[in-house]
Amino acid sequence: MAVDPLQRLCLRLAEDDEVVVGSRADKTQQRGAPDPALEARYEFLFNLAADEPGRFLTRYGSTLTQPELQVFSVIDDYEVSFLVRKYKDRLTNQHSLVKNRRYMAMQRLLAEGTYFSLEEMQRRCPWLYDAMVGQYVTDEHLQARIDAHNRGTWAEQLLSQVEHSQTNLRLEAEVYMSGGGTGDDEASRPEDADGDPGAIGPIDFEARETRRLAMPTEERERLEGEFRSLMEQRFLAGEDEEFFNYREIDTDETLDDLKTRERDEEEAWFDAD
């Protein structure tokens, strides 16, 4: 027996544990409470979609795909038509939405200060930090980090040592991987003591110290600024997934510029008439 598109989409939603399904009386199910049986979930969704498509789209429209939204496009109802176009446009612009949400989330993280601190960025990308910042830090900066470490409690100092060890292991792995290939991406490889890109060997600390002392303050600040910019670009591109839950912000509508989004939706609606 063939399953029509409305039945198919309701079954998909019923099988998705992330979709909150109410009772027949349309009472909101509490998150964490036992789900109704699959059949009951499906029955509720199908009845709501068939009898009150406007309410169905209001509650579940953001979870539908383009073909699923098309199922409702044949309904001659202003509210339904508006919601179908709204969610279709949102899917079309999803890339821009995600980009904007990540940007807004990044602004919050920058204002908060911890995630984009030099210490945290070093932990996430130690090789890039060492290449652009770490090998040029001043004695004053090093002493400040040592003092901050020593002021912590014993537990905090122990945790700091563990994180430092993990960062060093990550640095060693990144250096090994960057030198282990045979590609032409020499710009991204470390240098040996003689400045030979791509060469892997013991670090010449004397040469590093010479470069550090000779580095003008302006150049040191420029490199740190470039490092920060690269780490921000890395975050926006989704490359911090090991350290950050992107799904949480990619689906967070509170990060949208509501006035701009509503204006764009209204303009798209009237342009289509």
267 vs 273: CA distance, rounded Å: 10
Instruction: Give residue 54's pLDDT.
Output: 95
Instruction: Give residue 186's pLDDT.
Output: 42
Instruction: Give the three-state DSSP class for 183.
Output: coil
Q: Taking the domains of the chain in order of start, what are their residue ranges? A: 5-81, 93-115+244-273, 119-243
Are the C-beta atoms of 67 and 86 separated by less than 8 Å? no
180 vs 94: CA distance, rounded Å: 38
Q: pTM for the whole thing?
A: 0.48
If 0-12 CB within 10 Å is exposed, 13-18 middle and 19+ buried, where does residue 112 land?
A: exposed
Each as own residue / partner, the long-range contacts of residues 269-272 (CB below 8 Å, 24 or more positions apart, any chain) are 269/82, 269/85, 269/86, 272/85
Alpha helices in 62-204 (DSSP H): 66-70, 78-92, 94-112, 118-124, 126-132, 139-151, 154-180
Instruction: Give residue 1's pLDDT.
Output: 47
Instruction: Give residue 167's pLDDT.
Output: 45
Instruction: Give the three-state DSSP class for 163.
Output: helix
175 vs 203: CA distance, rounded Å: 11
Instruction: Give residue 249's pLDDT.
Output: 92
pLDDT tens-place values along the chain, 273 residues long: 456 899 999 999 999 888 888 654 344 445 555 455 889 999 999 999 999 999 999 999 999 999 999 999 999 999 999 999 999 988 887 778 888 999 999 999 999 999 999 989 988 988 888 888 888 766 555 555 555 556 656 455 444 454 445 445 544 555 555 554 434 444 434 444 344 433 444 555 566 666 666 778 888 899 999 999 999 999 999 999 999 999 899 888 888 866 556 555 555 555 555
